[in-house]
Amino acid sequence: MGRFPPLLWLILIGLLLLPTPAGRVLLDLAGGLFLTLLALPVLLGGAGWIGWKILQSRIRTCEACGTSTMSSEDRCAVCGSPLPKNQKGGTSAQAVDDSLPASDVTIDIKAEDVDP
């Protein structure tokens, strides 16, 4: 009952080996399933990475006690010290002081002739 009849196996192999439209459909179906199985972990990994980045951008760490929190409150729930503002882009954006206008921080470069 549980065994697959040998005649059906022969028909299946014949469909796969012979260049018939039914065999092409079976091969295309198998190829599509294979591609889906290959692409699924990549897609899930990408979605997970994006979700992790969004989560990471929302997490704020208390400077006094080191507690990480996702709450939108201004104060740490553990020690009560003020939390830093939600820095976007991680530590690199934190280092840039955007209180100054860009024209004030422009570096002037003078050309000089250097004798060899």
The contact set with Zn ion (CB under 5 A) reads: 62, 64-65, 67, 76, 78-79
Angle of helix 6-17 relative to helix 21-58, nearest 10 degrees? 80
Q: For tokens 């422009």, what's the residue?
A: 106
Three-state DSSP state, 90: coil
Task: Name which of 20 and 71 has its Cβ closer to Zn ion.
Answer: 71
Report the largest interatomic distance among the alpha carbons of the chain, rounded to a whole angstrom: 96
In angstroms, what is the minimal distance from the CB of 77 to Zn ion?
Answer: 8
Q: Which residue's entry shows tokens 């198998």?
A: 30
**Residue closer to Zn ion (CB basis): 33 or 65:** 65
Complex with Zn ion: residue 60 or 62, whichever CB lies closer: 62
Strands 68-69 vs 60-61: parallel, antiparallel or unpaired: antiparallel
Please enumerate in sequence order all residues whose Cβ is within 8 A of that of 74, keeping only pairs 6 or more positions apart, or say none.
82, 83
Smallest distance from Zn ion to CB 44, Å:
35
Which is nearer to Zn ion, 16 or 67 (by Cβ)?
67
